Structure 1
Amino acid sequence: MANRSRKNCVSFRVSDKELVLIQSKVERSGLTLREYALRSMLGKDIHVKEGGREVVKELKAIGNNVNQIAYQVNAGLIVDCTPQLENMYSAIKELMTVWQS
């Protein structure tokens, strides 16, 4: 077993209501419970990314578009896919701007 630098364990009890609130905050943060608790107790910043589901939905749509373009190019249906790729690039840049703000 590897030598661990963190050998101490901290545990505590919470009510059902507190647990639901904690789980909600952990889920929105995108962190693990351990990482969320550690950052919170050490006074470190915890950034909550709102709209994560919308970003994932948009990324899936872009992925579907990429697959459709690849199929059409491989089938010889389109020769120049530059306009479609430029549209997807713009959409990805917009998503990145929204996500990073």
Structure 2
Amino acid sequence: DALNEDANGRSIQLRTKPNNFGTPQFTVLLKEVTREDGEVISGDVTTASGEVSELFAKTLTSGQSWELEKDVIVITSRDVADEEQAARADELMAKLTSKAFAQNL
């Protein structure tokens, strides 16, 4: 079940489906950003029930390439309470994006 989509925060929060296997339901929050040359860039962000997407466009010449880095944070209610997930994801993303990709490996 979709609980929240936040285009500005580039995040979605979902609750897992009930099941017949005894696995408890939990909440998952996903937050993403995209970087170019280590800097966070913004595209056209859209949300729908249970999804967030971001569209980027760039004109390249023949043989030219464009390298993007996608950073993703996933938090579950098994570790962080539902109401605290967005703030915790913001903290983790700030820490992640303060370093280059190679430093985060």
The structure where helix makes up a greater share of residues is 1
TM-score w.r.t. the length of structure 2 is: 0.28
Larger radius of gyration: 1
**Larger RCO: Structure 1 or Structure 2 (Cα < 8 Å, ≥ 6 residues apart)?**
2
TM-score w.r.t. the length of structure 1 is: 0.28
The structure where strand makes up a greater share of residues is 2
